[in-house]
């Protein structure tokens, strides 16, 4: 990869003339180009089999779509990177798009990881659980599932059928009697020897067979065992087997579509309307439907289906493992190139197809119908949201309709485990990937000082924005700050904004009325008299939803922090004490608190604890 960026000089004009000035020095090789505006912000990232030929198209004065024509007019400079192959250029292009988020590219905005089911392989009694992230633990992974809900529903039914444990290894080792899951027939009780290792291994194999798509044989085996139990008049065992067959049937029923001729595929369908797009993805694994997910990439009104789908594929599989088969609703321009890039990533052949008939076409039609319906609902919600935002701007006398509202709240109990929370809302509703939580760090704060906590949160947030974008040109800057509080809180926040030179940022405090009843909220703005909205005003309900969402997020963050603090083990802070030594100490002394009070001789008596480690543990808990 070679950087061939050149600077045409400070007097170079923008637009077609600017682009034309680069053509003399451009190579006819594969690569990636970036178009930048006068402030050096990236407008567009593209790939090319032949950089010179591709960029020369932009130098033509006519024949461009309105979107591309605007982009060309704004272009003040360009950057280039040559690559060895066009496939390498494609991968680099999608990586740069995700990193730089250029204004004129199709952009996949929601790029979360998908959960899997993990069957561990590093224990005599393997565990089954939900897994998200890097596949570093030894075991068999099954997925991806479209959502945590889809995984949890499947795991819930699998526990009924196969009764595999889901507890951690440390919990497993410390049990002396079976837990509640055994009592409700969701676990076979391997922790206390209520099932042999051989029988448990057979259940693990059955679970693997089911998750691999071989469920018919399992049902046949369970039915035969139920008949044998009934014939032997073991009616309790027969009833338990009947329940397991029913649970297995429920798993298959909940999955809805279960194609017979498609073992592994992602079904991806696109619907575009009114300058907006919805991409629906169905995950087919082991001939089972493991859920679907919709995405709303950022597009323009004049972008083609092929361009949207190709950009989606490149960005979607940038951090995800592609399946062997990808079924699309529309053809893309560079099918062979995308297949080669994904095949290199997976290490085996990946096929991209647009089916026209048969079961595969029916799968794509179902996904396309879901995409059309999802986009219709989204557009209706967006229209309602736009109306509410316009009403909010009118009610608060803002200069323009806000596109980004940041709402702040604090949560603590008598000043302990204090956290601040920020939620974000805009034309598309709550933007949860922009939510932020702040652990309150101020050591000089008086416990319960809400003003001080709000000051710390806002100062940290705004300092970061100023550092990243001092000219306030990015979309990360809020158009409106909503604060939970009255005149005093508003005055304090306005002082913070003035100190940072941001006194022009619109800010409103929302306070409960005299009786602290919902519906009687008062709105406070700096230098103005407080006012209220009509009890049945939709804008009032909208503000209540914003405030309640901020409160929910703050409370949830606070509870998580409090739970983590409550579960903290003082032994975790001692260097050299890992999981096995911690178990040995807890088994010997009965509790972590007893370990902290133990004398040196007792610590040295614990099996697996060397004299040196015993001295380290004793010194850690005894300053003298």
pLDDT digits 0-9 by tens, 463-482? 999 988 888 888 889 999 99
52 is written with which tokens? 């010179």
Question: CA 303 to CA 68: how far, in whole Å?
Answer: 10
Residue 128 has what pLDDT? 92
Task: Please determine, for residue 462, whether its predicted confidence score (pLDDT) is greater than 60.
Answer: yes
The pair of structure tokens assigned to 251 is 């798993």
pLDDT of residue 323: 92
Give the distance, in angstroms, between the CA of residue 34 and the centroid of all CA atoms in the same chain.
28
- pLDDT over 80 (residue 219): no
Rounded to whole angstroms, what are the CA distances from 264 to 216, 303, 336, 478, 600?
18, 30, 20, 44, 59
| Sequence-distant (≥ 6) Cβ neighbours of residue 585 within 8 angstroms | 571, 577, 592, 595, 606, 609, 617
Mean pLDDT of 273-298: 89
Query: How far apart, in whole angstroms, are the C-alpha atoms of residue 381 and residue 573?
Result: 49
Mean pLDDT of 50-64: 90
Contact present, 258 and 289 (Cβ < 8 Å) = yes
Q: Which one, of 380, 135, 361, lies nearest residue 269 by Cα? A: 361
Q: Alpha-carbon distance 437 to 422, whole Å? A: 6
Query: Is residue 90 predicted with pLDDT exceeding 70?
Result: yes
- Averaged over 3-13, what is the pLDDT? 56
Instruction: Specify the pLDDT at position 365.
Output: 94
Percent of the chain with pLDDT over 90: 32
- 157's CB contacts (< 8 A; 6+ apart) are 247, 248, 250, 251, 254
Is residue 259's pLDDT more than 80? no
**What pLDDT score was predicted for residue 216?**
62
CA dist 229 → 126, 154, 200, 243, 246 (Å): 27, 27, 19, 14, 17
The Cα-based distances of 247 to 109, 179, 351, 396, 534 in angstroms read 37, 21, 35, 55, 52
- Predicted pLDDT of residue 371: 94
Percent of the chain with pLDDT over 70: 90
The alpha carbon of 394 is separated from its chain's Cα centroid by a whole number of angstroms, namely 34
* Residue 294 near residue 280, CB atoms below 8 Å: yes
Q: Which CATH superfamily is domain 405-564 in?
A: UvrC, RNAse H endonuclease domain (3.30.420.340)
In the predicted structure, residue 619 carries a pLDDT above the cut 80: yes
Q: Which of 5-9, 95-99, 151-155, 171-175 has the lowest mean pLDDT?
A: 5-9
* Whole-number Å distance between alpha carbons of 9 and 598: 74
Domains in the chain: boundaries: 15-105, 115-254, 265-377, 405-564, 570-623
Q: Determine the Cα–Cα distance for residues 219 and 210; give it in Å rounded to an integer.
A: 10
pLDDT exceeds cutoff 70 at 5: no
pLDDT at 2: 57
Instruction: Give the pLDDT confidence of 429-441 residue by residue, as tens digits.
Output: 898 888 998 887 7
Report if pTM > 0.85: no
Average pLDDT over residues 485-506: 88
Task: Extract the tokens encoding 576.
Answer: 């050299």
Q: Indicate the helix (H) or strand (E) that contains 176.
A: none
How many Cα atoms are found within 13 Å in the side-chain-facing hemisphere of 205?
9
The residue among 249 and 518 whose pLDDT is bigger is: 249
- Confidence class of residue 24 from pLDDT cuts 50, 70 and 90? confident
> Cis before residue 572, ω within 30 degrees of 0?
no
Neighbours of 22 (CB within 10 A): 24
pLDDT digits over 305-350, tens only? 999 999 999 999 988 889 999 999 999 999 999 999 999 888 889 9
Instruction: Read off φ and ψ for residue 25, nearest 5 degrees.
Output: -105, 0
Q: Is 118 helix (H, G, I), strand (E, B) or coil?
A: strand
Residue 355 CA to residue 367 CA, distance in Å, equals: 13
15-105 domain in CATH 3.40.1440.10? yes
Q: Do residues 25 and 5 touch, judged by C-beta distance below 8 A?
A: no
Mean local confidence (pLDDT), 60-82: 90
Q: What is the mean pLDDT of residues 346-366?
A: 92
Class of the 570-623 domain? mainly alpha
Q: Using an 8 Å Cβ cutoff, are 26 and 52 in contact?
A: yes
Indicate the Cα dihedral angle 548, 551, 557, 560, nearest 10°: -80
pLDDT value at residue 82: 93
Strand partners, 470: none
Model confidence band, residue 623 (pLDDT cutoffs 50, 70, 90):
low
Tell me which of 170-174, 220-224, 276-280 is least confident: 220-224
Mean pLDDT calculated for residue range 408-420: 74
Q: Do domains 15-105 and 570-623 have the same CATH topology?
A: no
What's the pLDDT tens digit per position in 103-145?
Answer: 899 998 776 778 999 999 889 999 999 998 888 889 999 888 8
- Between CA 269 and CA 308 the distance in angstroms is 11
- Residue matched to tokens 């909208």: 542
- What is the token pair recorded at 598? 């133990």
Instruction: Produce one character per residue of 181-197: b if its CB has 16 or more CB atoms within 10 Å, e if not.
Output: bbeeebbbbbbeeebee
**Residue 193: phi, psi to the nearest 5?**
75, 25
Considering the domain delimited by 265-377, tell me its CATH architecture. 2-Layer Sandwich (3.30)
Between CA 597 and CA 618 the distance in angstroms is: 9
Q: State the pLDDT confidence band at 579, using cuts at 50, 70 and 90.
A: confident
């Amino acid at each position: 990869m070679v950087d061939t960026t050149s600077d045409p000089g400070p007097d170079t004009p923008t637009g077609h003339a600017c682009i034309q000035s680069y053509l003399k020095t451009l190579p006819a090789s594969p690569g990636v180009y970036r178009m930048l505006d006068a402030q050096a912000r990236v407008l567009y990232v593209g790939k090319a089999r032949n950089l010179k030929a591709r960029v020369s198209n932009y130098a033509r004065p006519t024949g461009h779509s309105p979107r591309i024509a605007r982009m060309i007019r704004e272009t003040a400079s360009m950057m280039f990177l040559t690559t060895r192959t066009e496939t390498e250029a494609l991968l680099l292009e999608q990586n740069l798009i995700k990193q730089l988020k250029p204004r004129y590219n199709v952009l996949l905005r929601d790029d979360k990881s998908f959960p899997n089911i993990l069957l561990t392989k590093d224990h005599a009694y393997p565990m089954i659980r939900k897994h998200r992230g890097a596949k570093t633990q030894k075991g068999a992974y099954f997925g991806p599932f479209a959502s945590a809900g889809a995984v949890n529903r499947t795991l819930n039914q699998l526990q009924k059928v196969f009764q595999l444990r889901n507890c951690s290894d440390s919990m497993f080792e410390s049990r002396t009697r079976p837990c509640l899951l055994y009592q409700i027939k969701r676990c076979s009780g391997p922790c206390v020897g209520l099932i042999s290792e051989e029988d448990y291994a057979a259940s693990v194999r059955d679970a693997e067979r089911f998750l691999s798509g071989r469920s018919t044989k399992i049902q046949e085996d369970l039915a035969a065992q139920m008949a044998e139990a009934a014939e032997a008049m073991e009616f309790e065992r027969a009833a338990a087997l009947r329940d397991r067959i029913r649970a297995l049937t429920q798993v298959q029923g909940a999955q809805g579509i279960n194609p017979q001729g498609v073992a592994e595929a992602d079904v991806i369908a696109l619907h575009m309307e009114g300058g907006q797009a919805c991409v629906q993805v169905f995950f087919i694994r082991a001939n089972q439907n493991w859920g679907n997910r919709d995405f709303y990439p950022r597009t323009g009104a004049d972008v083609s289906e092929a361009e949207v789908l190709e950009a989606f594929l490149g960005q979607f599989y940038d951090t995800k493992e592609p399946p062997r088969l990808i079924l699309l609703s529309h053809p893309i321009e560079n099918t062979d190139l995308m297949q080669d890039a994904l095949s290199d990533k997976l290490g085996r052949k990946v096929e991209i197809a647009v089916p026209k008939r048969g079961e595969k076409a029916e799968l794509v039609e179902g996904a396309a119908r879901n995409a059309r319906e999802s986009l219709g609902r989204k557009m209706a919600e967006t229209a309602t949201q736009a109306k509410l935002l316009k009403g909010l701007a009118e009610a608060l006398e803002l200069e323009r309709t806000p596109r980004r509202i940041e709402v702040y709240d604090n949560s603590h109990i008598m000043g302990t485990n204090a956290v601040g929370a920020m939620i974000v809302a805009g034309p598309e509703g709550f933007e949860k990937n922009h939510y932020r939580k702040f652990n309150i760090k101020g050591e000089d704060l008086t416990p319960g000082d809400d003003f001080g906590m709000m000051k710390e949160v806002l100062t940290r947030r705004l300092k970061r924005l100023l550092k990243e974008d001092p000219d306030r040109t990015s979309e990360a800057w809020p158009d409106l700050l909503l604060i939970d509080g009255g005149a005093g809180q508003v005055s304090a926040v306005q002082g913070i904004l003035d100190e940072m030179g941001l006194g022009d940022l619109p800010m409103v405090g929302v306070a409960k009325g005299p009786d602290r009843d919902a519906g009687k909220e008062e709105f406070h703005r700096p230098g103005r008299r407080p006012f209220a909205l009509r009890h049945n005003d939709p804008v009032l309900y909208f503000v209540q939803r914003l405030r309640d969402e901020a409160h929910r997020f703050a409370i949830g963050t606070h509870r998580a922090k409090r739970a983590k603090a409550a579960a903290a083990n003082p032994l975790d802070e001692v260097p050299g004490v890992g999981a096995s030594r911690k178990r040995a100490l807890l088994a010997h002394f009965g509790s972590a608190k007893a370990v902290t009070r133990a004398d040196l001789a007792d610590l040295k008596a614990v099996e697996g604890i060397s004299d040196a480690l015993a001295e380290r543990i004793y010194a850690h808990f005894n300053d003298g």
